[in-house]
Amino acid sequence: MKIEDLEYVHTGLLETPLEFMPALTKKLGKGKLYIKRDDLTGLAFGGNKTRKLDYIVRYALDHGYTALLTFGGVQTNHGRLTAAAAIRYGLKPILVLKGKKPGKMSGNVLLDRLMGVDLHYCDLSAADKLPASQQKAAKDQFLQETADRIVAEYAKKGDKVLIVPTGGSTVLGACGYVRAVDEVMRQMKEQQVTVKYLVVGYGSTGTFSGLWAGAKYYHAPFEVIGIPIRPDYHPLEECVTLINQLSRQFQMGFTVTAKDIHLETGEDGQCYGGTGYNEPDPVTQRYIKLLAGTEAIFTDPCYTGKVLHGFIDLVEKGKIAGDGNALFWHTGGLPGLWTEEHLDSMNRAYWTDNQKDSVHEWVMK
């Protein structure tokens, strides 16, 4: 089957805008800089997961599922959007979250509660006492066993639950990003834009893998560069496997190896992925502020702020956009700005008495 013949639903509002960033382009003084606004996919504050969910939800509906269960961190964007898509298509939303129940709602958790999502917090801290090499497997096992128990409970009530892997980064989910290449190439043609480099986040890799495969399949004129969003990033071999599965399943006619994949992680001490997954860090915050102050476009502290750091650094160093134009693929995640820990950290950075660069107080006498 050709990927174009695979059916999908419309969980979001596509196509998303392709925009020129004039002020950032002027500030950096290299090639022209563009942005693809997948933060504006529409559903439940938007983000990259809607393109994946178009295919996953279609599959669930076609196979008689009545509920979607997925995994994520406590502030998972993927969880918020999977739940939202489930609700919009009459499926029950269930999230299995890696961490203790927070004391307060904030960010995505507030949105999950407002949507009435069935939330299951998993305290995995016992695994931290195990040798480092065993921790991940032990945590994964607990999460899977918990999910299986929930699925069994739902089954007793007559529900059929589809388990969606973390990040929706399956062959089916990645199809949304293969097709996104067709969309952006059409937009580039309409707007008479040429781009040599496309920069996007690399998390559970479905987005990157789909774009990479799409670029190859549609003979795109740009190279897809991935920026890992954490220092201990997802194994490259799994990304390679996903791309090859996509190619095989939809007869795309290519094979990829690890050396074909271009990731940029930043240098020691200046890792684009920050200090750890979803840890507030001042460098990422500075880049978030830079784009907000030049283009009035917001990025988030867990994913897109880090990718933006990589994008701008690569432009400044002339690694991209010196010999052509570059595109930053925004993937959303904006509720992350309002999570308790990031809000506290940004208050310390931008709201203390000696940091209020453009904050004034006037007292009426």
Ligand X SMILES: Cc1ncc(COP(=O)(O)O)c(C=O)c1O
Q: Which stretch binds ligand X (CB under 6 A): 7-15, 138-146, 296-304, 312-320?
A: 296-304
Q: Does 339 bind ligand X (CB under 6 A)?
A: no
Sheet holding 118-122, edge to edge: 118-122, 92-98, 67-73, 161-164
Answer yes or no: are the C-beta atoms of 58 and 7 closer than 8 Å: yes
- Our finding on whether 31 is near ligand X (CB under 6 A) is no
Length of the chain: 365
The smaller minimum CB distance to ligand X, of residues 47 and 93, is found at: 47
Least distance CB 49 / ligand X (angstroms): 7
Does residue 12 interact with ligand X by CB under 6 A?
no
Element (H, E) at 77: helix 77-88
| Near ligand X by CB under 6 A: residue from 206, 214, 274, 335 | 206
All residues at 6 or more sequence positions from 172 whose CB lies less than 8 Å from its CB, including other chains:
52, 55, 56, 59
b (16+ CB within 10 A) / e for 209-221: bbbbbbbbbbebe
Q: Which of 304, 325, 339, 345 binds ligand X (CB under 6 A)?
A: 304
Question: 177 near 53, Cβ under 8 Å?
Answer: no
| Piece in contact with ligand X (CB under 6 A), picked from 16-24, 128-136, 327-335, 353-361 | 327-335
Cβ at position 48, least distance to ligand X in Å? 5
Does residue 207 touch ligand X according to CB under 6 A? yes
- CA distance linking residue 230 with residue 203, whole number of Å: 8
208 interacts with ligand X by CB under 6 A: yes
Q: Which of residues 144-203 bind ligand X (CB under 6 A)?
A: 167, 169, 201-203
Asked if residue 311 binds ligand X (CB under 6 A), the reply is no
Residue 331 makes contact with ligand X by CB under 6 A: yes
Which amino acid belongs to residue 1?
Answer: M
* Helix, strand, coil % over all residues of the chain, rounded to 5: 50, 15, 35
Q: Which of 30, 36, 58, 78 binds ligand X (CB under 6 A)?
A: 78
Among 46, 47, 176, 305, binds ligand X (CB under 6 A): 47
Residue/partner pairs of 115-120 with CB below 8 Å, 24 or more apart: 115/44, 115/80, 115/83, 115/84, 115/87, 117/79, 117/83, 117/93, 118/92, 118/93, 118/94, 118/150, 119/95, 120/94, 120/95, 120/96, 120/146, 120/150
Rounded to a whole number of angstroms, the minimum distance from the CB of residue 29 to ligand X is: 28
Bridge partners of residue 214, in order along the sequence? none
DSSP lists the bridge partners of residue 67 as 92, 161
Which positions from 217 to 246 touch ligand X by CB under 6 A, shown as an x/- string? ------------------------------
Tell me if 301 sits within 8 A of 336, measured CB to CB.
Answer: yes
Complex with ligand X: residue 169 or 345, whichever CB lies closer: 169
**Please, which residue, 80 or 139, has the CB nearer to ligand X?**
80
CB of 248 to ligand X, least distance (A): 20
Q: How many residues bind ligand X (CB under 6 A)?
A: 20
Nearer to ligand X, 205 or 247 (CB): 205
Q: Give the span between the Cα atoms of 360 and 363, in whole angstroms.
A: 10
Q: How far is the CB of 361 from ligand X (least distance, A)?
A: 35
Work out whether 274 is an interface residue with ligand X (CB under 6 A). no
Binding site for ligand X (CB under 6 A): 47-48, 77-78, 167, 169, 201-208, 300, 303-304, 331-333
